[in-house]
Amino acid sequence: MTAQRGFVGASARGEALGVHSLDHFSLLVPDLQVAQRYFTDFGLDVRERGGTLHLRTYGSDHTWGVIGEGPSKRLHHISFGCFADDLPRFKSHLEANGVALLDAPAGFQSNGIWLRDHNGLLLEINVAAKSSVDSKMSGTFASSPEGIAGAPVRAKAPVARPRRMSHMLSFTADIEQAIAFYSANLGLRLSDRASKVGFMHAIHGSDHHILAFAQSSAPGIHHSSWDMACIDDIGLAAMQMADKGHQKGWGLGRHVLGSNYFHYVQDPWGSFTEYTCDIDYIARGQNWQTGHHADEDSFYLWGPTPPEDFVVNYEAA
């Protein structure tokens, strides 16, 4: 994880204006008990606070997701972290761009600013420590030496848990508008894209994408992605979920854009949570060569055929 330099501003270093992290997402679901069971089974440290669930990874006090109760599953907002002395710069920048600034929604405390994106999705930019990593967190692999068994018996398999949230993918009605809005207003930069997907990174050093977009008729969450230490941990976690009744999903495979290994588990509301590892990293100041790829050459390098409803936005119904 990153060092606690997260409140030192980009303006003090003479850098361009941009958020440094995807701080957390907020989701509404019809039944919090169902959500608590699902995310606990997934391997997250789920804490109840004021009628909401806070999603953490074990060993960290960072809240990656806030789950509230509502009549149907809906992405409520996405929160991005910025450096402290960049917040007034963001306020002036957004106002100059003609973006309306909003009050914080009822029930949410904030030290930042609120706005809506091109698609009407609620966003927050708040002062927070940098939670995106400062270097690549590589997937590890070590072969066992001769004469020693490499895998434990099933009954003694360790519990595999995510280390952090890597990124999320949200639906948008217009990929071009999404890329333009988040680039012009939040300072995210395009990493790679195809006709119906786009992947954006943070300029202060982040994974290949902290936020991605998929084409739909309305906003919504497709998946949140959680970093694992190695491919074996992805397999173990997927088996743990299957043993607990969460069998529908997609994987194991390897993506092309981002290069990460993956296994997706479908949640109770039709979207997905992804176990991932070894995603590409774009360092601060690096000039990443952005590509516009053919659809058939940009989805996955290898893996099983995805389920038919993998790209269905159930929030658009």
- Render the burial of 92-118: b for 16+ CB within 10 Å, e for the rest: ebbeeeebeeeebeeebeeebbbbbbb
Res 6 pLDDT > 50? no
Closest CA to 164 of 74, 63, 81: 63
140: pLDDT confidence band, cut at 50, 70 and 90?
confident
Q: How many C-beta atoms lie closer than 10 Å to residue 6's C-beta?
A: 20
Q: Which helix (H) or strand (E) holds 67?
A: strand 65-69
How far lies 63's CA from each of 49, 89, 116, in Å? 11, 25, 22
pLDDT tens readout for residues 144-203? 889 898 888 888 888 999 999 999 999 999 999 999 999 999 999 999 999 999 999 999
Instruction: Tell me how far apart the alpha carbons of residues 44 and 92 are, in angstroms, rounded to a whole number.
Output: 37
How far lies 28's CA from each of 25, 71, 126, 131, 255, in Å? 10, 8, 20, 23, 29
Average pLDDT on 225-247 reads: 97
Instruction: Tell me how far apart the alpha carbons of residues 162 and 225 are, in angstroms, rounded to a whole number.
Output: 9
Q: Tokens representing 269?
A: 């509301």
pLDDT attached to residue 15: 76
Write out 183-248 in H/E/C secondary structure: HHHHCCEEEEECCCEEEEECCCCEECCCEEEEECCCCEEEEEEEECCCHHHHHHHHHHHHHCCCCC
Instruction: Tell me how far apart the alpha carbons of residues 156 and 152 are, in angstroms, rounded to a whole number.
Output: 6
How far lies 305's CA from each of 193, 213, 253, 268, 300, in Å? 21, 21, 10, 21, 10
214: pLDDT confidence band, cut at 50, 70 and 90?
very high
pLDDT attached to residue 3: 36
pLDDT attached to residue 4: 39
Helix (H, G, I), strand (E, B) or coil at 272: strand
pLDDT tens readout for residues 237-251? 999 999 999 999 999
pLDDT attached to residue 150: 84
Instruction: Tell me how far apart the alpha carbons of residues 254 and 250 are, in angstroms, rounded to a whole number.
Output: 11
Instruction: Tell me how far apart the alpha carbons of residues 133 and 206 are, in angstroms, rounded to a whole number.
Output: 6
Res 18 pLDDT > 60? yes
- pTM equals 0.93
Give the distance between the most distant pair of CA atoms in the chain: 67
Alpha helix locations (H) across the chain?
32-42, 87-96, 175-186, 231-243
Measured at the CA of 272, the angle between CA 122 and CA 42, to 5 degrees, comes to 110
Instruction: Tell me how far apart the alpha carbons of residues 36 and 74 are, in angstroms, rounded to a whole number.
Output: 16
pLDDT tens readout for residues 255-306? 999 999 999 999 999 999 999 999 999 999 999 999 999 998 999 999 999 9
Domains of the chain: 11-134+151-316 (3.10.180.10)
How far lies 103's CA from each of 89, 194, 237, in Å? 18, 35, 40
pLDDT tens readout for residues 26-76? 999 999 999 999 999 999 999 999 999 999 999 999 999 999 999 999 999
pLDDT attached to residue 170: 97
pLDDT attached to residue 8: 54
